Structure 1
Amino acid sequence: MRKFSRIVTFLLAGSLVGLTGCAVQTTKEKEAKAAGHQQSQQEKQVKTEKKKVEKTIYVKIVDPNTKSIIKTIKPKDMGFGTDNDKYNAELAVLTRELARGTKDTPGYDKRMILDKLDANGLLIKGRPQTILDEEELTEKIIQASLKGGKVEIPLYVTASGYKQEEAAQLGQVVVASYTTHFNSGMPGRTKNIELSAKAINNIIIGAGDSFSFNTTVGPSDAEHGYQPAPEALNGKLVDGIGGGICQTSSTLYNAIDKLTVSYIEKHHHSLHVGYVPTGRDATVSYGGKDFRFKNTTGVPLMLKAIVRKGTITVEVRTAKIYLNQVERR
């Protein structure tokens, strides 16, 4: 009996040791499993963070009128964050092309087409000036380059600086004028002067407006009725379509120069022309040299171009109420 009790005691002790061993083993397995799970979670988190870091950032440039995306860029590919000088240089090219256009795509910048009165005194509306602010667009793109998103093109539209109800009165008084002479026996040249004079006649130049001869007159080609006539080219007189329009632009220059306008663009001929004193000419060529000025006289003006036999006169007029306000040289 005593022997049996010892055996039972031994077996119970062995069982307890075995159970204790199982318990220890189970705990270690749990700890190992927990550690493995934690490592797996950490690896997933690292992968997630890596994906966040590697996420491609896009900046989408939006047309403010149509709300459509016209250009999508990847700042990182252009140097953002790694070579910011390169990035700024590329943005300068991009914004300039959007503003001024390329050979294949017109830009957002639009010169003002000035209003004018027709032969019956009715107002013909032109087009306001539109300017894309390149510096502002660049700044907007840079701000969006960190997180991505859409950037709307900043366009600024400027209407002509006069009151439409005063349009008919702007031809009341002459504040400046100039006359030049030409040989009316040259039919081609005479026709070209007449056509270009008609194009600038009754043009309204509001206070602060910019005038462009080429924009106002348009192409001086055969399609628009212009004829062959002598013109100055590279120091020589040659026959060319539209020869004579420079007499119109030069006559305008000498008239408007009596007022305090500021010049944007003006060029001289490559040789002396006989219809104005030396240095008092303003040559033009559609698609090339232009005659441009800004009306800084403080009042709205109207141009009158009158062609008679052998003469062209350009008058600058305004309304009586502005007569004492117009600034002269």
Structure 2
Amino acid sequence: MAKQNWVISLLVAVCLIGTGCTEQTAKEKEAKAAEIQQKIVKEKKLQEEKKLAETKKREEERKLEEARPVYVNIIDPNTKDKVKTFNTKDLGYITNPENYKVEIAKLTRELARGTESRPGYDKRMVLDKLDGNGQVIKGIPQTILDEEELAEKIMLASEKGGDVEIPLYINASGYKNEDAAHLDEVVIASYTTYFNSGVVGRTKNIELSAEAINNVILGTNDYFSFNTTVGPSDAGHGYQKAAEINYGKLVEGYGGGICQTSSTLYNAIDQLAVTYVEKHHHSLKVGYVPKGRDATVSYGGKDFRFQNTSGVPLILKAIVRNGSLTVEVRTSTAYQDQVKKGI
């Protein structure tokens, strides 16, 4: 009996010892799990703080980058001087890209065509001319600033900045030097108008303007401008007062009569396949050409301009006789059969 009780006591003790070990192991596991969870939470918090710091840093860098000026320099291709410098961000390159394009278009237009205070790079052609001895008096080539190309170059440089050279294209007169002496060989178009030679001022003005266009060479695809060719019709250039049409009224003004020269030229050149760039009618009917066949001009204002698309080089002849003005268009015998006539 005593032995049996001892065995039972031993079994109870063993059970009690086993139960205690089991409880201790569970508590250790719980503590370990809690510790791991705390580490995870802490690590997650550190990652979030790091991410937030990086985001903040990037935002600060972005703001600094936006605040940093980016300069574009517009360079004159001839002198290599800076003609314009601007901060792209001031013009809205980042904040308002559509408006930025508008501003760049405005800038290129002003550089090409000029402003009230500064001339532009575009230059009309001053055509070559023969003097009394048949020698060529050189004019000035046409200069064109390609506005679209300049705008594209500026857009490419707008992000990082830099120098942009102005794209200028220079076009010389479209004829060969050896042709000059032969361009007056054949008359291919002419027109004559009449005036009262007793009116001194008007006669003088017609003579001066006719002399200005006489012997002017029109190369293939050259542009002719009456105002550029004749120049100012004022007292300083020898012009006198005579009747002229101004806003529907007949008034006295310097250069009255030069429109007869421009209109006579128009009726002669119109017989060829030229392309008109600018042409205007008087506000009143004139008596020296049929209705609708006039071409009024005013230096600094309305002009008569056309391009020689007849296919061959030409020369103008303006002949003033007693009471008549004849404008002839001539070319060389070699080109006679190649001339494109007007419709």
User: What is the TM-score when the length of structure 2 is the normalising length?
Assistant: 0.82
Structure 2 residue 231 is matched with structure 1 residue 211? no
Structure 2 residue 161 is matched with structure 1 residue 140? no
Structure 2 residue 177 is matched with structure 1 residue 155? no
* Counterpart residue number, 2:113: 100
Among 284, 289, 293, the residue aligned to 1:280: 293
Gaps of 5+ in 2: 1-53
* Counterpart residue number, 1:271: 284
Shift of 1:219: 0.2
Deviations 1:210-265 (A, max 9, x none): 10000000000000000000011111211110000000000000000000001000
Among 193, 202, 214, the residue aligned to 2:215: 202
Q: How many residues align?
A: 290
Gaps of 5+ in 1: 1-41
Structure 2 residue 224 is matched with structure 1 residue 228? no
* Counterpart residue number, 2:90: 77
Determine helix, strand or coil for the equivalent of 2:286: coil
Determine helix, strand or coil for the equivalent of 1:165: helix
Deviations 1:135-164 (A, max 9, x none): 111111111010000000010111100001
Q: Separation in 1 of the partners of 2:78 and 2:204?
A: 42
Q: Note the aligned Cα RMSD (angstroms).
A: 1.9
Q: Separation in 2 of the partners of 1:201 and 1:164?
A: 18
Q: How does 1:61-72 map to 2 (within 5 A)?
A: 61-72=74-85
Determine helix, strand or coil for the equivalent of 2:169: strand
Q: Separation in 2 of the partners of 1:169 and 1:81?
A: 60
Q: Separation in 2 of the partners of 1:134 and 1:320?
A: 40
* Counterpart residue number, 1:249: 262
Q: Are the equivalent residues in 1 in contact too, given 2:175–2:313 (CA < 8 A)? A: yes
2:256 alignment partner AA: G
Shift of 1:52: 4.8
Q: Separation in 1 of the partners of 2:147 and 2:217?
A: 29
1:285 alignment partner AA: S
Calculate percent identity across the aligned residue pairs.
69
* Counterpart residue number, 1:16: none
Shift of 1:319: 0.5
* Counterpart residue number, 1:326: 339
Q: Separation in 2 of the partners of 1:94 and 1:270?
A: 36
Q: Separation in 1 of the partners of 2:72 and 2:291?
A: 54
Q: Separation in 1 of the partners of 2:63 and 2:323?
A: 81
Among 130, 138, 141, the residue aligned to 1:128: 141
2:163 alignment partner AA: K
Shift of 1:296: 0.4
Deviations 1:32-89 (A, max 9, x none): xxxxxxxxxx9xx877786555321100000000001110011111110211111111
Q: Are the equivalent residues in 1 in contact too, given 2:69–2:88 (CA < 8 A)? A: no
Determine helix, strand or coil for the equivalent of 1:77: coil
Q: Separation in 2 of the partners of 1:51 and 1:89?
A: 26
Among 308, 312, 321, the residue aligned to 2:321: 308
Shift of 1:93: 1.1
Determine helix, strand or coil for the equivalent of 1:324: helix
